[in-house]
Amino acid sequence: MTGQRRVIAHVLSEADDHPDVEELYRRASALDNRISVATVYRTVRLLEERGILERRDFGGGRARYEASENGCHYHLIDIDSGRVIEFENEELVSLLSQIAKKLGFDLVSHRAELFGRAEKGATADEGKNTSSEGKKSV
Protein backbone atom coordinates (compact mmCIF):
# COMPACT_ATOMS: atom_id res chain seq x y z
CA MET A 1 0.00 0.00 0.00
CA THR A 2 1.77 3.06 -1.28
CA GLY A 3 1.11 6.74 -0.99
CA GLN A 4 -0.60 7.03 -4.36
CA ARG A 5 -3.03 4.23 -3.67
CA ARG A 6 -3.85 5.67 -0.33
CA VAL A 7 -4.70 8.99 -1.94
CA ILE A 8 -6.84 7.40 -4.63
CA ALA A 9 -8.61 5.19 -2.12
CA HIS A 10 -9.29 8.24 -0.01
CA VAL A 11 -10.71 10.18 -2.93
CA LEU A 12 -12.95 7.25 -3.72
CA SER A 13 -14.23 6.83 -0.22
CA GLU A 14 -15.02 10.54 -0.01
CA ALA A 15 -16.89 10.53 -3.29
CA ASP A 16 -20.60 10.07 -3.05
CA ASP A 17 -21.09 10.63 -6.73
CA HIS A 18 -19.96 8.52 -9.67
CA PRO A 19 -16.71 10.01 -10.96
CA ASP A 20 -14.94 8.85 -14.09
CA VAL A 21 -11.20 8.29 -14.24
CA GLU A 22 -10.48 11.80 -15.42
CA GLU A 23 -12.36 13.25 -12.47
CA LEU A 24 -10.65 10.88 -10.05
CA TYR A 25 -7.33 11.91 -11.48
CA ARG A 26 -8.22 15.56 -11.01
CA ARG A 27 -9.24 15.07 -7.40
CA ALA A 28 -6.27 12.88 -6.58
CA SER A 29 -3.84 15.29 -8.21
CA ALA A 30 -5.15 18.08 -6.05
CA LEU A 31 -4.05 16.12 -3.00
CA ASP A 32 -0.81 14.80 -4.40
CA ASN A 33 0.50 15.99 -7.71
CA ARG A 34 2.87 13.05 -8.18
CA ILE A 35 0.06 10.83 -9.42
CA SER A 36 -0.35 9.82 -13.04
CA VAL A 37 -3.47 8.77 -14.92
CA ALA A 38 -1.99 5.35 -15.49
CA THR A 39 -1.91 4.80 -11.77
CA VAL A 40 -5.52 5.82 -11.43
CA TYR A 41 -6.46 3.34 -14.13
CA ARG A 42 -4.37 0.63 -12.54
CA THR A 43 -5.80 1.32 -9.12
CA VAL A 44 -9.44 1.33 -10.11
CA ARG A 45 -8.95 -1.89 -11.99
CA LEU A 46 -7.32 -3.44 -8.97
CA LEU A 47 -10.05 -2.27 -6.67
CA GLU A 48 -12.69 -3.44 -9.07
CA GLU A 49 -11.18 -6.92 -9.22
CA ARG A 50 -11.22 -7.09 -5.46
CA GLY A 51 -14.83 -6.07 -5.38
CA ILE A 52 -14.11 -2.87 -3.50
CA LEU A 53 -15.19 -0.71 -6.37
CA GLU A 54 -17.82 -1.05 -9.06
CA ARG A 55 -17.61 0.14 -12.60
CA ARG A 56 -20.70 1.72 -14.10
CA ASP A 57 -21.65 2.76 -17.57
CA PHE A 58 -24.15 5.56 -17.80
CA GLY A 59 -23.31 6.24 -21.43
CA GLY A 60 -20.88 8.84 -22.65
CA GLY A 61 -18.11 6.43 -23.46
CA ARG A 62 -16.25 6.53 -20.17
CA ALA A 63 -16.54 4.27 -17.21
CA ARG A 64 -17.63 5.68 -13.91
CA TYR A 65 -16.92 4.28 -10.49
CA GLU A 66 -18.47 3.99 -7.10
CA ALA A 67 -17.62 2.18 -3.91
CA SER A 68 -19.22 -1.21 -3.52
CA GLU A 69 -21.60 -1.30 -0.66
CA ASN A 70 -23.27 -4.16 0.97
CA GLY A 71 -26.65 -4.58 -0.55
CA CYS A 72 -27.28 -3.69 -4.12
CA HIS A 73 -28.78 -0.52 -5.32
CA TYR A 74 -29.92 1.00 -8.54
CA HIS A 75 -29.73 4.28 -10.36
CA LEU A 76 -32.26 6.70 -11.64
CA ILE A 77 -30.81 9.23 -14.03
CA ASP A 78 -32.56 12.53 -14.51
CA ILE A 79 -32.44 12.89 -18.27
CA ASP A 80 -32.68 16.65 -18.10
CA SER A 81 -30.00 17.40 -15.55
CA GLY A 82 -27.92 14.23 -15.65
CA ARG A 83 -28.24 13.93 -11.90
CA VAL A 84 -27.97 10.38 -10.64
CA ILE A 85 -30.16 9.24 -7.79
CA GLU A 86 -29.47 6.00 -6.01
CA PHE A 87 -32.13 3.83 -4.57
CA GLU A 88 -32.64 0.37 -3.26
CA ASN A 89 -35.69 -1.80 -3.47
CA GLU A 90 -35.98 -5.30 -2.15
CA GLU A 91 -38.93 -6.19 -4.27
CA LEU A 92 -36.83 -5.53 -7.35
CA VAL A 93 -34.01 -7.78 -6.18
CA SER A 94 -36.29 -10.67 -5.54
CA LEU A 95 -38.24 -10.20 -8.74
CA LEU A 96 -35.06 -10.22 -10.79
CA SER A 97 -33.62 -13.31 -9.19
CA GLN A 98 -36.97 -15.01 -9.57
CA ILE A 99 -36.94 -14.18 -13.28
CA ALA A 100 -33.43 -15.55 -13.69
CA LYS A 101 -34.47 -18.72 -11.96
CA LYS A 102 -37.41 -19.16 -14.32
CA LEU A 103 -35.02 -18.90 -17.23
CA GLY A 104 -32.84 -21.57 -15.70
CA PHE A 105 -30.09 -19.35 -14.32
CA ASP A 106 -28.60 -18.43 -11.00
CA LEU A 107 -28.47 -14.68 -10.74
CA VAL A 108 -24.85 -13.67 -10.26
CA SER A 109 -25.19 -9.94 -10.66
CA HIS A 110 -27.48 -7.48 -12.28
CA ARG A 111 -28.12 -3.87 -12.94
CA ALA A 112 -31.08 -1.67 -13.58
CA GLU A 113 -31.05 1.91 -14.65
CA LEU A 114 -34.06 4.13 -14.92
CA PHE A 115 -34.07 7.25 -17.02
CA GLY A 116 -36.73 9.70 -15.99
CA ARG A 117 -37.92 13.25 -16.02
CA ALA A 118 -38.89 15.07 -12.86
CA GLU A 119 -42.62 15.45 -12.44
CA LYS A 120 -43.76 19.02 -12.52
CA GLY A 121 -45.20 19.40 -9.05
CA ALA A 122 -43.05 16.73 -7.48
CA THR A 123 -41.30 16.31 -4.18
CA ALA A 124 -38.05 16.64 -6.05
CA ASP A 125 -35.60 17.56 -3.33
CA GLU A 126 -33.67 19.54 -5.87
CA GLY A 127 -31.27 22.32 -5.08
CA LYS A 128 -27.81 22.10 -3.63
CA ASN A 129 -26.75 18.55 -3.79
CA THR A 130 -26.43 18.25 -0.07
CA SER A 131 -23.50 15.98 -0.68
CA SER A 132 -24.96 13.07 1.21
CA GLU A 133 -28.54 12.72 0.28
CA GLY A 134 -27.67 9.07 0.25
CA LYS A 135 -29.52 6.10 -0.98
CA LYS A 136 -33.26 6.18 -0.87
CA SER A 137 -35.32 3.17 0.02
CA VAL A 138 -38.34 2.94 -2.20
Distance CA 74, CA 87 (A): 5
CB of 29 to its own copies, least distance (A): 26
The yes or no reply on residue 62 touching DNA (CB under 7 A) is yes
Q: What is the pairing mode between strands 64-67 and 53-56?
A: antiparallel
CA triplet 84, 131, 5: central angle to 5 degrees? Answer: 90
The yes or no reply on residue 100 touching its own copies (CB under 8 A) is yes
Burial class (CB in 10 A: 0-12, 13-18, 19+), 65: buried
The yes or no reply on residue 62 touching its own copies (CB under 8 A) is no
Q: What is the pairing mode between strands 84-88 and 136-137?
A: parallel
Binding mask 37-56 for DNA (x = CB under 7 A): xxx-xxx-x-----------
Binding interface with its own copies (CB under 8 A)? 57, 59, 76, 78-79, 85, 87, 89, 91-92, 95-96, 99-119, 122-124, 136, 138
Task: Point out which residues bind DNA (CB under 7 A).
Answer: 1-5, 20-22, 34-39, 41-43, 45, 61-63
